[in-house]
Amino acid sequence: MARVVLWGSSALEAWDYQASRGNFAQDFSDEDFKRCIPTAASTRYAFDALPGLSSPLHVMVVSHEARRNRENVRSHVAPPSLQAGRFSRIAPGIYLPQPEIALLQFARGRSLPEIVAEGTKLCGSFSCDPDTGAAKRRPALSSIAALKSACSIHGDVPGRVAVSRALPWIMEGAASPREIALGLLMSLPHFLGGYALARPVLNQTLELGVRGLRMTEKSYYVADLCWAKNKLVLEYDSDEHHLVSQQLHDDAVKRMVLESLGYRVITVTRLQMNSTEEMNRVAMTVARHLSIPVRFRVKNFPKRQRELRRAVGL
């Protein structure tokens, strides 16, 4: 069977649908890599086996002679540090580089907000259902520490410098694409299109204590975005999960309990997130509570906002 090793954006798409990082790693030798040639048959097979992949398919090869560029496939020559190592088999004959390597490859030629968003997704605790796009819980595929290590080890991967620049703004702990969008809109600096507010903790556990237990059976709540020092919580109100009366009731109780413990709870809806003007108002409210002045002292801030919003899928 022909083998293919996915590269960059195609590898990230494949990782996005995995339930976990898994225990399917395999050590590759130089000879193993030489057999990874993107034939027409292996390309068709990859699209059939992984229907979530976009066209063209991006693959890694060991040399310029092994490259095959056609309408539906693009080949990229692996640098020396990647020509032997550990790859993950996700289907017979289909292999992925480790998630950190895939991000380094993806980063070449990408904007900083795109890299930060993809890095935050890798460090998040969710995958996307390939059929519905809904977020499902899973262990994080990577971490900021692992990304830093990859940048240090793989200096010959062209996207390394770009990922190194993005690392200060990558966040951990996101549980959905909208939480990533909300967290980055709030925390990224103005020159990247964000509101430059203090960085929140994503999905922070808030212990309720005795007082909270008097109002609910839960011992803790998880806040989507939290500035614990400032007693501020930002919650994303998803249309998908809030059409059930029980969920509406649970959300109302959560808000009541947190506010009784001194937290300010701000809810952001899908419609608000889809509107730049509405999000400007949300940001101003958050900024007032954090006692942070919001002054956009960069040129073309609306353009930078649009670029960031595209990068986070808004």
What are 68-114's pLDDT values in tens digits? 788 899 999 989 888 777 888 888 888 899 999 999 999 999 999 99
Alpha-carbon gap, residue 13 to 31, rounded angstroms: 26
pLDDT recorded at residue 240: 57
The reply to whether 159 and 18 lie within a common domain is yes
The reply to whether 225 and 266 lie within a common domain is yes
Q: List the beta bridge partners of residue 205.
A: 222
| pLDDT above 60 (res 243) | no
pLDDT recorded at residue 250: 75
The reply to whether 137 and 269 lie within a common domain is no
Handedness of CA 286, 290, 291, 297 (dihedral sign): negative
The reply to whether 132 and 280 lie within a common domain is no
Write the burial class of residue 69 (CB in 10 Å: 0-12 exposed, 13-18 middle, 19+ buried). exposed
Higher per-residue confidence, 226 vs 208 = 226
Helix-strand-coil split of the chain, %, nearest 5: 45, 20, 35
Structure tokens given for 135:
């977020």
pLDDT recorded at residue 149: 96
Question: Could you say which of 169, 195, 216 is where a domain stops?
Answer: 169
| pLDDT above 90 (res 225) | yes
Q: Any idea what DSSP says for residue 70?
A: B
Average pLDDT score over residue span 36-47: 86
Higher per-residue confidence, 308 vs 249 = 308
pLDDT recorded at residue 227: 96
| pLDDT above 60 (res 242) | no
Higher per-residue confidence, 21 vs 4 = 4
Question: Could you say which of 115, 142, 169 is where a domain stops?
Answer: 169
Query: Which range in 103-117, 216-230, 245-259 is most confidently predicted, on average pLDDT?
Result: 103-117
pLDDT recorded at residue 22: 60
Q: Are 5 and 14 in contact (CB under 8 A)?
A: no
The reply to whether 218 and 300 lie within a common domain is yes
The reply to whether 162 and 217 lie within a common domain is no
The reply to whether 189 and 300 lie within a common domain is yes
- pLDDT digits over 255-302, tens only? 888 888 899 999 999 999 999 999 999 999 999 999 988 888 888 999
Average pLDDT score over residue span 190-214: 88
pLDDT recorded at residue 28: 73
| pLDDT above 90 (res 311) | yes
Give the residue numbers spanning the domain of 134: 4-169
pLDDT recorded at residue 106: 97
Computed over every residue of the chain, the mean pLDDT equals 88
Structure tokens given for 205:
């556990």
Alpha-carbon gap, residue 68 to 66, rounded angstroms: 7
The reply to whether 97 and 231 lie within a common domain is no
The reply to whether 9 and 125 lie within a common domain is yes
Identify the band that residue 2 occupies on the pLDDT scale cut at 50, 70 and 90.
Answer: low
pLDDT recorded at residue 23: 55
The reply to whether 128 and 190 lie within a common domain is no
The reply to whether 233 and 265 lie within a common domain is yes
pLDDT recorded at residue 132: 67
pLDDT recorded at residue 130: 65
Q: Are 81 and 154 in contact (CB under 8 A)?
A: yes
Q: Are 171 and 161 in contact (CB under 8 A)?
A: no
Output Rg (C-alpha) for the chain, integer angstroms.
22
Q: How many domains does the chain have?
A: 2
Question: Could you say which of 141, 169, 197 is where a domain stops?
Answer: 169
Average pLDDT score over residue span 173-178: 93
Average pLDDT score over residue span 167-175: 96
Name the amino acid, one letter, at 67.
Answer: R
The reply to whether 158 and 100 lie within a common domain is yes
Helix (H, G, I), strand (E, B) or coil at 12: helix
Identify the band that residue 239 occupies on the pLDDT scale cut at 50, 70 and 90.
Answer: low
Helix (H, G, I), strand (E, B) or coil at 76: strand
Q: The pTM is what?
A: 0.90
